Amino acid sequence: MESVNEFIAALPKAELHVHLVGSASVPTVLELTRRHPGGPVPTTEEELRRFYDFRDFRHFAQIYEGVNALVREPEDVATLVTGAARDLAAQNVRYVELTVTPYSHHRMGMPMPAVTEALDLAAREAAGLGVRVGYIFDIPGEFGVEGARATLDHALSEPPQALVALGLAGIEEERPPYRDAFRDAFRAATAAGLHSVPHAGETSGPETIWEVIEGLGAERIGHGIRCLDDPRLVEHLRETRTPLEVCPTSNVRTRQVPEIAAHPLPRLLQEGLYVTLNSDDPPMFGTTLNREYQVAAEVFGLGAEDLAGLARDAVRASFLEEDAKRAIIDEIDRVPMPA
């Protein structure tokens, strides 16, 4: 298995589903607690790791919000991006589509131009580390109309240079009252040339996935694992080749799946669905993108060619231009297969 792990480490990769605040390493979070003391987030490594023991998805959302409240200045935003790029570079990630929730930074008093400037500066620094960054601005679903309006305004009036898409995250069960606001936001964003990449089918059923497909024009689905509850939806996803951003360890840590061996990844692949592997909120969940590939090998028995295929599919599902995709795929093809 060591040779497979070495192969995984050598694979050039794209990461399509990782959140800015959730990507903050333990040292980075502790640095933010020193900058901004007095909040609910623990100030030692041991306590912080215990803090990241989630009872369920709602508890995870509360913890995430506590960490998010430490991001109070544009410098903090840039620190998170460069920290994520450093961690990804160490895993041979060539390209990341990093999900940013600008509304949370607005609520902390940061003006849109300052957030954008920090994101632009950090993207240039990430490029110097060998990681190209694309940004996804996501609407925090539980903030409804105001969250949708503010996110869209930022995306259209003060976008960072690397903005590629609009997303929708948060607690899926709280979305229905705001359906029209989300539809309007995505309609305006896609008309302006942004892509549509909402979360769906993580904590709720297939109906949420249908809504983002039919109502939001989803081009990729964040998570999407509940699609298996609806054979008609599985057939639709298979026929349209709609990529799923699958995050196995995340689903276990937020109690959406009881244990890693029960994760539906193998069945998603058996159904012929378009699957990409991702880390979601890696330090919070005690994982990395490389670790997700290792889980696919160790727990689900995927071989080296299967893993390389997942890496290629992530690149193909990204919003990179075609020549940049081809360059990364050519790198993947040149990695020697393990003996």
Task: Convert the pLDDT of each residue in 89-144 to its tens digit.
Answer: 999 999 999 999 999 999 989 999 999 999 999 999 999 999 999 999 999 999 99
Token pair 């071989």 is found at 303
CATH of span 2-333: 3.20.20.140
- What mean pLDDT comes out for the span 271-286? 95
Q: How many C-beta atoms lie closer than 10 Å to residue 332's C-beta?
A: 21
- What mean pLDDT comes out for the span 290-296? 98
Among candidate residues 15, 172, 202, 245, the one labeled active-site is: 202
Q: Distance between CA 154 and CA 2 in Å, rounded?
A: 46
For all residues of the chain together, what is the average pLDDT?
94
Q: Using 50, 70 and 90 to split pLDDT, how confident is the model at 1?
A: low
- What mean pLDDT comes out for the span 266-272? 98
Instruction: Average the pLDDT over each of 54-63, 98-107, 223-232 and give the range with the smallest value.
Output: 54-63
- What mean pLDDT comes out for the span 190-202? 98
Q: Using 50, 70 and 90 to split pLDDT, how confident is the model at 65?
A: confident
pTM of the model: 0.94
Domain boundaries, the chain: 2-333
Considering only residues 215 and 53, tell me which one the structure prediction assigns the higher pLDDT: 215
Residue 28 has pLDDT above 90, yes or no: no
SS3 13: strand
Contacts of 81 (CB under 8 A, 6+ apart): 20, 98, 118, 119, 122, 123, 125, 126, 133
pLDDT at 220: 98
User: Catalytic annotation on 202?
Assistant: yes
Nearest to 253 by CA among 59, 65, 68, 53: 53
- What mean pLDDT comes out for the span 277-293? 95
Instruction: Average the pLDDT over each of 36-40, 213-217, 320-324 and give the range with the smallest value.
Output: 36-40
SS3 244: strand
Q: Using 50, 70 and 90 to split pLDDT, how confident is the model at 27?
A: confident
pLDDT at 61: 82
pLDDT at 194: 98
Q: Distance between CA 4 and CA 205 in Å, rounded?
A: 35
Between helix 179-191 and helix 206-216 the angle, nearest 10°, is 40
Q: Please provide residue 189's backbone torsions phi and psi, each rounded to the nearest 5 degrees.
A: -65, -45
pLDDT at 319: 98
Residue 9 has pLDDT above 70, yes or no: yes
- What mean pLDDT comes out for the span 242-257? 96
